[in-house]
Amino acid sequence: MMNKTAYEELKQKLKYHMNRYYNEDEPEISDYEYDRLMVQLKEAEKEHPEWVDKDSPTQVIGENVVDEKFAASTPRGSKRTSGVVVSHDVPMLSIQDVFTKEDVLRWVHEVRSRHPDVKFSVEQKIDGLSMSIRYDKGKIVLAETRGDGLLGEDVTLNALAIPDVLQDLGPAGKNDAGLLLPLEIRGEVYMTLEAFEKTNERQELEGKKIFANPRNCAAGTLKQLD
């Protein structure tokens, strides 16, 4: 059980860590610790729904990283430059966390009850920076960060420096009918430990701030304007 005072303190603690993660790209706690705090908040709100308001971290995807007036002045389809705020055509939602084998099995059972022929693939979790890439007629038109899930930051020019990001999809961008349809790809931008260590060595030699972890380094590199 949690009282209202503890609930408000937990809200502020989560908002602080959300800001460190989403806005500053310098998380102070692990994903696991953050997720456990969020679970505590959700459990408290389940017991006391009257406490919930729009200010709760459970009611947003991430902290709003932009000024609303500035965001409104950046319409879709306008000419974009690095650092400009753009809106997602489809919100980039978060995936629900699970912490026990029972939670996973319960989810699998629920999915199979609806889709008996479903097949699953499992891969290691990569802690990177979420990014979406839009293609039109096979050519890249926008790469943007997740931001708050509704509004992200245009990082197209920097994304093109990533070897795996194609500027032109070529034949691979065509569907079975041979047509080049609009396409959006979503994934994680991450950095290997080896590249992270080399980057920090260079930062230190140049007297610059070193990065706290590979995710922080990948995010900083992707968002830099120079």
Contacts of 26 (CB under 8 A, 6+ apart): 20, 212, 216
Rg (CA), the chain: 20
Question: How far apart, in whole angstroms, are the C-alpha atoms of residue 217 and residue 31?
Answer: 16
Q: Is 69 a catalytic residue?
A: no
Tens digit of pLDDT for each residue in 176-208?
777 788 899 999 899 899 999 999 999 999 998
Residue 163 or 134, more confident:
134
HSE at residue 27, side-chain half, CA atoms within 13 A, is 20
Q: Which amino acid is residue 148, in one-letter code?
A: D
Class of 1-60 per CATH? mainly alpha
For residue 64, what pLDDT is reported? 42
> What is the tens place of the pLDDT at every residue in 83-99?
688 899 889 887 777 88
Given 125, 137, 139, 208, which residue is catalytic? 125
Q: What pLDDT, on a 0 to 100 scale, did the predictor assign at position 225?
A: 56
Residue boundaries of the structural domains of the chain: 1-60, 66-94+128-189, 191-226
35-49 confidence digits (pLDDT tens) = 889 889 999 999 999
Where do the H-state alpha helices sit in 125-213? 156-159, 193-205
Nearest residue to 162 (alpha-carbon basis) of 136, 137, 202, 128: 128
Q: Determine the residue type at 165.
A: V
pLDDT band at 114 (very low <50, low <70, confident <90, very high): very high
Contact criterion met (CB below 8 Å) for 133 and 159 = yes
